[in-house]
A and B are shown apart, each in its own frame.
Chain A
């Protein structure tokens, strides 16, 4: 991959780290001429992905979350990776309002927000191995 800049983060999946993760990624992306709106979109999408790791992937144990971020001439790619329980049916999970935790007041909008706020979202998951969410934002020329 022909990248201009890259960054790797690894941190414990506790909810106190949600704001750290979104701010770190936004800060990394802050000097490449993105609009404030684009930065805000990225912050929200990262927050959704990291929250999924904490609330779902590691619902019964502590685990680490990894974020790999790459900037090229034409796009930003952010991978959010956990080693948690995995998602049984990704097609179902990414549908709006799909939640396995309605009793916890979960909206089921996480993946919908990621998809809506980024240009591309890829979700790869394996049961008991973990999940990798790839988020891509295209850079305007």
Chain B
């Protein structure tokens, strides 16, 4: 699991690369929380085009970050999930709080 972060204007782009499961969740959580503390921004975009695998553990990780972020920034988006990951997002209803953008 690799996390790449860049701040463009007021938007923090978080690119998740690899496989997000129970095994990589703690590491991913730590990296994300550190980055989210370090920068200031209005919007967050989780860029998932290179996230090859995610199971429902990933839903827990994203909703956990959402709870920490909702008072700190205006919008949180999810971008470019694979078809399979998108199905998990739809089952969980996460797009209602973190809309999908392309």
Q: Determine whether A113 belongs to the interface, using a CB cutoff of 8 Å to chain B.
A: yes
Main secondary structure, interface of B, reads helix
Contact A44 B88 (CB under 8 A): yes
Scoring A16, A37, A51, A109 by chain B CB atoms within 10 A of each residue's CB, the highest score goes to A109
Looking at the complex, which one of A16, A37, A96 makes contact with B84 (CB distance below 8 Å)?
A37
The distance in angstroms between the C-alpha atoms of A48 and B60, with both chains bound, is: 13
Please indicate the chain A residues that have their CB under 8 angstroms from the CB of B63 in the complex.
105, 107
Please indicate the chain B residues that have their CB under 8 angstroms from the CB of A117 in the complex.
87
Looking at the complex, which one of A15, A43, A104, A113 makes contact with B23 (CB distance below 8 Å)?
A15
Q: Determine whether A54 belongs to the interface, using a CB cutoff of 8 Å to chain B.
A: yes
Contact B84 A105 (CB under 8 A): no
Range, interface on chain B: 20 to 34
B73-92 contacts to A (CB < 8 Å): 82-84, 87-88, 91-92
- Give per-residue flags for A1-31: 1 if the beta carbon is below 8 A from chain B beta carbons, else 0: 0000000000000011011001000000000
Contact A18 B22 (CB under 8 A): yes
Residue on A with the closest CB to B84? A40
Looking at the complex, which one of B22, B53, B64, B88 makes contact with A54 (CB distance below 8 Å)?
B22
A73-106 contacts to B (CB < 8 Å): 96, 104-106
Please indicate the chain A residues that have their CB under 8 angstroms from the CB of B84 in the complex.
37, 40-41, 44
Please indicate the chain B residues that have their CB under 8 angstroms from the CB of A104 in the complex.
60
Contact B19 A113 (CB under 8 A): no
A105-B61, A109-B92, A116-B87 known; A18 vs B56 contact (CB < 8 Å): no
11 A-B pairs with C-beta separation under 8 A: A37-B84, A44-B55, A44-B84, A44-B88, A47-B55, A51-B55, A105-B29, A105-B61, A107-B60, A109-B59, A116-B91
